[in-house]
Structure 1
Amino acid sequence: MLDQQNAPLLEVENVWAGYIKDLDILQGINFHILPGELVAVIGPNGAGKSTLAKTIFGLLTPHKGNITFKGEKIAGLKSNQIVKRGMCYVPQIANVFPSLSVEENLEMGAFIRNISLVSLKNKIYDTFPGLANRRQQKAGTLSGGERQMLAMGKALMLEPDLLLLDEPSAALSPVLVGSVFEQIKQINQSGTAIVLVEQNARKALSMAHRGYVLDTGCDRITGNGQDLLNDPKVGELYLGAGMAH
């Protein structure tokens, strides 16, 4: 059971951000995650889900509002500065180095660590047994599901306190989706807090401690994952055919 008395690991307060000046996709969004929590971010296409992840990770700079990580303001910091503070981000696409082997990808993930990587790599292979047999295989030859697992493994080489996952199930077959979500759950159970940005809303909410429903750049509805899953309003508006794969 999570300790609700904990101070948030990450807090986003009244953040406005976008890609073009004076055209904000995020419009006063509020969001937080506690240490060890798994929080799902769902909503229709264009709601601002991926924009939120990119803004938290410093790929976009908020025009207004604050972002605090471990009690320190990080809005305006570059991604490499945020990584050093204990946060990693796995984008939806282009998340591995296709010409490098599985092992080399993991080593690239730990580029800022000046320690022996043997035990870390072994830990990743224990978490993702499918990668262990392919350590010398080029990442570009992996299946979509294996590539997602490698992308997560690469991020975990830094042993982050917070992992941002942007649409990890996108374009995967139903069998692989189940496998990827199972791995996400295990990573969270090992103590890593996870922000899970997902189009597969039912699956994400069913395993999340809490969820946020985004719409037009605002946090419309928040609550316990199961409560959102069973909320008729959420079901009607956001768990329709397009989101209930």
Structure 2
Amino acid sequence: MTDGAPLLEVQDVYAGYVKDLDILQGINFKIYPGELVTVVGPNGAGKSTLAKTIFGLLTPHQGSILFQGKQIAGLKSNQIVQRGMCYVPQIANVFPSLTVEENLEMGAFVRDVPLQPLKEEIFLRFPRLAERRKQRAGTLSGGERQMLAMGKALMLKPTLLLLDEPSAALSPILVNSVFEQIKQINQGGTAIVLVEQNARKALEMADRGYVLESGRDRFEGRGIDLLNDPKVGELYLGATKAH
């Protein structure tokens, strides 16, 4: 799976929200076609900042970001979308006043193709959304909103999907459901960068993982190896080596 060129490569990137105050401190990260790679670490480690920088919501002042072999650092988000990458933020990820169906249509705003087959594909993947297709998104449960946000992104048939804390504020049952959907999307061939607070669950299902600390990539390896690494367990998983 890691043969050939990376789909996305972040090299020595420094970025932040305030001038001269970098949250990312020379970070390195890569994902190969079809991989599911998770990014974990304590609060304030730079996980969401990394996702926003990759997607063009923040411009790095040093380093490079290559997507499909081409430099994207400095491009706007809409230009990055057109190259085949989508981002689902943790909050404000649906249009609450629009229906489920209208949200999906908004998701495909840059595609000049018939939308009905795309919508039906999403409704097959998320039957709960099909049941609520005429319902306003603002009336959905947290889990349903998360499914809609992912469905909206999938309307663009992305090569790479960035998910920022998809399990945040969800009940344990809904967390399992959302993670199962993420796994299925990945098995369908979409590469996924999963930024997650639920480190154990994310590492269990990831091909590879990165552990961030203070804006740097402290550990990198197969998800299962990181999960069972006593140093990672002690520092970031709130326990010693998992048995």
What TM-score comes out, normalization by structure 2 length?
0.98
Q: Which residue of 2 aligns with 1:11?
A: 9
- Give per-residue Cα distances to partners, 1:133-187, cap 9 Å, x unaligned: 1000000000000000000000000000000000000000000000000000000
Query: For residues 211 and 184 of structure 2, what CA distance do their matches in structure 1 show?
Result: 24
Separation in structure 1 between the aligned mates of residue 124 and residue 38 of structure 2, nearest angstrom = 25
1:154 aligns with 2:155: no
Q: Which amino acid aligns with 1:163?
A: L
C-alpha contact (below 8 Å) 1:17/1:60 kept by paired residues: yes
Correspondence list, 1:1-245, <5 A: 2=1, 4-240=2-238
Q: Deviations over 1:79-132 (max 9, x none)?
A: 000000000000000000000000000000000111101111111011111101
Q: Deviation at 1:22?
A: 0.4
Gaps of 5+ in 2: none
Q: Distance between the aligned counterparts of 1:228 and 1:17, measured in 2?
A: 26
Task: Among all aligned residue pairs of Structure 1 and Structure 2, give the percentage whose two residues are the same amino acid.
Answer: 80
Q: What CA distance in whole angstroms lies between the structure 1 residues aligned with 2:235 and 2:130?
A: 42
SS in 2 for 1:165: strand
Q: Distance in 2 between the 1:214 and 1:5 partners?
A: 24
Instruction: Say if 1:163 and 1:192, in contact at 8 Å, map to a contact too.
Output: yes
Shift of 1:6: 2.2
**What stretches of structure 1 of length at least 5 have no aligned partner?**
none
TM-score between both structures, scaled by the size of structure 1: 0.97
> Root-mean-square deviation (CA), in Å?
0.9
Structure 1 Cα separation of the partners of residues 144 and 164 of structure 2: 16
Number of residue equivalences: 240
**Distance in 2 separating the partners of 1:129 and 1:192:** 20
